[in-house]
Amino acid sequence: MYLVAIAWMYVVVMMAIVEAGSPNGTLIGAVFTFVLYGALPLSIVLYLLRSPARKRARRAAEAAEALDTPTASAAQPDGGDHAAGDAVAAERKEA
């Protein structure tokens, strides 16, 4: 996957150099050639191709975190995520 990306960037850099060195070409044209033919499309393609690996890494991290932390029922007696309150209501004195 990375070999194709490196080869494509080589081709795009050569296109940009030719654009900049051409009598009818400009430096801004070379920059646009590099960005619009190389950097932008390649970043989108690599992002899309890496999405399964990111998903696997996220699932592995969640699984490792689930193994490292105690379950909610073991952490809190009532199984909730809130602070434990008084189990018995306070006694009220009548005046």
Where in the chain are the domains? 2-58
Confidence (pLDDT) at 87? 66
Average pLDDT over residues 64-91: 64
**Predicted confidence (pLDDT) at residue 37 exceeds the cutoff of 90:** yes
Confidence (pLDDT) at 94? 76
Higher-confidence residue: 72 or 59?
59
Average pLDDT over residues 72-79: 54
**Predicted confidence (pLDDT) at residue 75 exceeds the cutoff of 60:** no
Query: How far apart (Å, rounded) are the C-alpha atoms in residues 39 and 8?
Result: 10
pTM for the model = 0.59
**Cα 73 → chain centroid:** 32
